[in-house]
Amino acid sequence: MKVADTYWKSVLPSWGRGWSLRAFPGASALAEVAAQAANEAELRLERRYFWVRAAAVTAIATAVILQRQAVPGWQLVVGVAGLALLYNFFPLGYLTRRGRVTTARNLGTILDGLTLIVASFTVFRGMGVSNIDTDFWLIFFVYVVGGATRFGPQVSLVHTVWWYLWLAVLTVAFFDTNSYAREQLPTRLIFLLVLGFIGHWQANELRRGRERLEAQSRDTLVMLATIVEARDTDAGMHLQRIREYCQVIAARLGLPRQLAQEIGYAAMIHDVGKAHVPDAILKKRGPLSDEEREVIELHTVWGDRILGDRPSFKLARQIARWHHERWDGSGYPDGLSGERIPSAARIAAVADVYDALTSRRPYKDAWPSAPAMAEMATQRGRHFDPQVLDVFAALWQEGVIEDIRRRFQDNDDVSLPRVA
């Protein structure tokens, strides 16, 4: 206890407080990996909306041309529609193909809004001057429905309210009190509002659907990890502890809560490659020969191959392949060093080694936590990322790590008091 206490008191005077996303090297890349996996469905949606926008703009321009005698300023509307087609293919099409969903969506929303404001202002002013009314106001429905499918529930509601108010402002500003447009305004607003609430409901359903898919992905990770780990009968509650350790480390490093959870669940299948390791080696009670150790070290490569190129498993794939890499480059399978090792794998490495040291195995007894921490202190900057290990030490000093061990202790673990 004194060795670990003395060491980390010298390197962690603030005991890990104040960590931020910027303070952790590689955190931005880690966030991008998670965002890429999380946004895969949104990317498909945005690609579909690319064609929806093109079809809607073409239909609107065609209708205006056919009814040009009844649409004041129709030339401007057609010109704006052409501009919309242009920016739909570039830059929005380019950004979408590059997978920059958020940028494409935000820019598309701004450009769509500006084109509709310009076109509607011109047409409504012309109709007010000429004292005529057309069905041009129906164009707002296209934007309300489109917003419902592209934005979250709250944003889609704001989107609806904005166009609701804009239609009201244009009608009141450019039409006389006794005009047909003013008479029909309440009906049109009610219709638009109802459509907006339907869109809000659709947005809620889309969000819930994404949440269900995310939950199913997590369940898949848990089941896959449990099946593979079942072959290693000594694992016990290892998976749950690894998940919790990684999650609290990532959170203390300043990563967003959702990303920290994703790292925790991804870490649960860090040893998925052991599915290819023969039982004679995996369950051997004595020390491994050099040849057997070479085989078992291949579980990192096999894990990478099992998970493949699926975007939703990208974090898990990084952890599976590189959680045995070492900060000084002496690890396996690729001999990566320092920040070349993916951040998620560096986090999992600390969690995995600590749990291995403090867990009982047929070939060894469980280490008490203090000697385990003292041993890991000797590997700071050699085996482990110093910053990740320092954060873990801070959590250990605060009792967070021991609390996780108590909540997820093995049935035969007598080193800890039982949790009631």
For the chain, the three-class secondary structure string (H helix, E strand, C coil) is: CHHHHHHHHHHCCCCCCCCCCCCCCCHHHHHHHHHHHHCHHHHHHHHHHHHHHHHHHHHHHHHHHHCHHHCCCHHHHHHHHHHHHHHHHHHHHHHHHCCCHHHHHHHHHHHHHHHHHHHHHHHHHHHHHHCCCCHHHHHHHHHHHHHHHHCCHHHHHHHHHHHHHHHHHHHHHHCCCCCHHHHHHHHHHHHHHHHHHHHHHHHHHHHHHHHHHHHHHHHHHHHHHHHHHCCCCCCCCHHHHHHHHHHHHHHHCCCCHHHHHHHHHHHCCCCHHHHHCCHHHHCCCCCCCHHHHHHHHCHHHHHHHHHCCCHHHHHHHHHHHHCCCCCCCCCCCCCCCHHHCCHHHHHHHHHHHHHHHCCCECCECCCCHHHHHHHHHCCECCCECHHHHHHHHHHHHCCHHHHHHHHCCCCCCCCCCCCC
Q: What is the mean pLDDT of residues 246-266?
A: 91
Q: Where exactly are the structural domains of the chain?
A: 2-35+232-407, 40-210
pLDDT value at residue 419: 36
What phi and psi, each to the nearest 5 degrees, are found at residue 380? -65, 125
Q: What is the mean pLDDT of residues 117-133?
A: 87
The more confident residue out of 71 and 79 is 79
Q: What is the mean pLDDT of residues 374-398?
A: 94
The more confident residue out of 107 and 219 is 107
Q: What is the mean pLDDT of residues 385-412?
A: 90
pLDDT value at residue 1: 47
Lowest mean pLDDT among 102-106, 246-250, 350-354, 398-402: 102-106
Q: Does the pLDDT of residue 344 top 90, yes or no?
A: yes
Rounded distance between C-alpha atoms, residue 228 and residue 240, angstroms: 14
Q: Give the model's confidence band at 163: pLDDT under 50 very low, under 70 low, under 90 confident, else very high.
A: confident
pLDDT value at residue 304: 92
Whether a cis peptide bond, with omega within 30° of 0, leads into 333 is: yes
What average pLDDT does the chain have?
Answer: 81
Q: What is the mean pLDDT of residues 368-385?
A: 94
CA angle, corner 279, sides to 275 and 282, nearest 5?
A: 80
Q: Does the pLDDT of residue 156 top 80, yes or no?
A: no
Q: What is the mean pLDDT of residues 284-304?
A: 90
pLDDT value at residue 241: 93
The more confident residue out of 116 and 401 is 401
pLDDT value at residue 169: 92
pLDDT value at residue 380: 94
Tell me which amino acid residue 97 is: R
- Residue 362 gets the label, from left (phi > 0), alpha (psi -120 to 50) or beta, of alpha
pLDDT value at residue 65: 87
Give the tokens for residue 98. 């590059």
Lowest mean pLDDT among 33-42, 100-109, 224-233, 278-287: 33-42
Nearest one of 52, 68, 61 to 139, comparing CA atoms: 61
Cα 378 to Cα 185, 372, 375: the distances in Å are 76, 10, 5
Residue bearing tokens 């990322």: 385
Q: Give the model's confidence band at 21: pLDDT under 50 very low, under 70 low, under 90 confident, else very high.
A: very low
Q: What is the pTM of this model?
A: 0.61
Rounded distance between C-alpha atoms, residue 132 and residue 174, angstroms: 11
CATH 1.10.3210.10 given to domain 2-35+232-407? yes
pLDDT value at residue 418: 36
pLDDT value at residue 26: 56
Q: What is the mean pLDDT of residues 212-239?
A: 68
- CA 98 to mean position of chain CA atoms: 17
What residues are paired with 332 via a beta bridge? Answer: none
The more confident residue out of 51 and 32 is 51
Q: What is the 3-state secondary structure of 183-218?
A: HHHHHHHHHHHHHHHHHHHHHHHHHHHHHHHHHHHH
Q: What is the mean pLDDT of residues 33-59?
A: 70
Residue bearing tokens 């980390």: 8
Rounded distance between C-alpha atoms, residue 404 and residue 409, angstroms: 8
The more confident residue out of 353 and 142 is 353
The more confident residue out of 7 and 179 is 179
User: What is the CB neighbour count within 10 angstroms for residue 93?
Assistant: 17
